[in-house]
Structure 1
Amino acid sequence: MSFQTGLSGLNASSRNLDVIGHNIANANTTGMKASRIEFAELYASSLGAAGGSNSGIGVQVATVSQLFTQGNIKVTGNQLDLAINGSGFFQVKGTDGVTYTRNGEFKLDKDGYIITNNGARLQGYATDEVGKLSNGKETKDLRLPTGAPIDPRATTNINITANL
């Protein structure tokens, strides 16, 4: 019985080292979320035992949970790289449907769509010319007009704050 208790502790500790190793190996991977291991105690159960106590007989891994805390934000030099300040996800649409990611490395495809490195298109809400939501219920592929010129608009209002 005591051998089994010690063996369960070694197995759980080994799994914990696997999770720690995964966290260290992926520490600089963009959008990677660290994980932590959660343990649970094992109890012996017996039916019809007369007045005994169920003592612990070891430990097991209950679950490996992802930690969705904010990672480091760094300057990359790419104008389309985005970061999420706090909690949240980017919604992207690929061949397997809508998915969510914290990886903000984006680029443009040949048609002007903002895409991930896997080709999934970044989703967003449509707006009108002044930035007001035109349909706040449905997301669509975000696209920048790269192939056509953008019509010029004259500046109509300027706010200046200055010290003399």
Structure 2
Amino acid sequence: MERKGVVTMQGNPVTLVGPDLKVGDKAPDFTVIDQNMKEVRKSDFANKIKVISVTPSLDTSVCDIQAHKFEEEAVSLPDDVVVLNISMDLPFAIKRFCTTGNIKKVIALSDYRYASFGTNWGVLMKELRLLARAVFIVDKDDTIRYVQIVPEATNHPDYEAALNTLKSLIK
């Protein structure tokens, strides 16, 4: 499935590959790669609230700020909440970014190998093979409770709206 007219990158329209996920949908599976080249699946975070911060590349200023904003929030979250950052960056670049940027609570993951997150979650930009900027929040039952796909990939997400939804799920 391909969707046009949803996202631009620097003003240029791009095609998103995958479904148009909505609040209330079941969270699709994915297989991504961690900083040590190990496969990680959605099921590895079973029974946790999942904040999924999606970035085109951690090597850009907006993505850097986004990762650090969620890192600031993650340090005060309970143990049943996990914050993931998923991009197409190579695991080596992610490891360097997390080390130099002091990212410790956010789990930064790469979709470079299979693009399974991008295609299953509808955020793979076909023309660029990058992920569109987005934020998803998934409850412990794997139901999507928040979806934000940022219309211009170089802009910030609405952090406040995402965090308000997260706070409503934390009991």
Normalising by structure 1, we get a TM-score of: 0.21
Greater RCO, 1 or 2 (C-alpha within 8 Å, sep 6+): 2
Structure whose residues are more often helix by fraction: 2
Normalising by structure 2, we get a TM-score of: 0.20
Bigger-Rg structure (1/2): 1
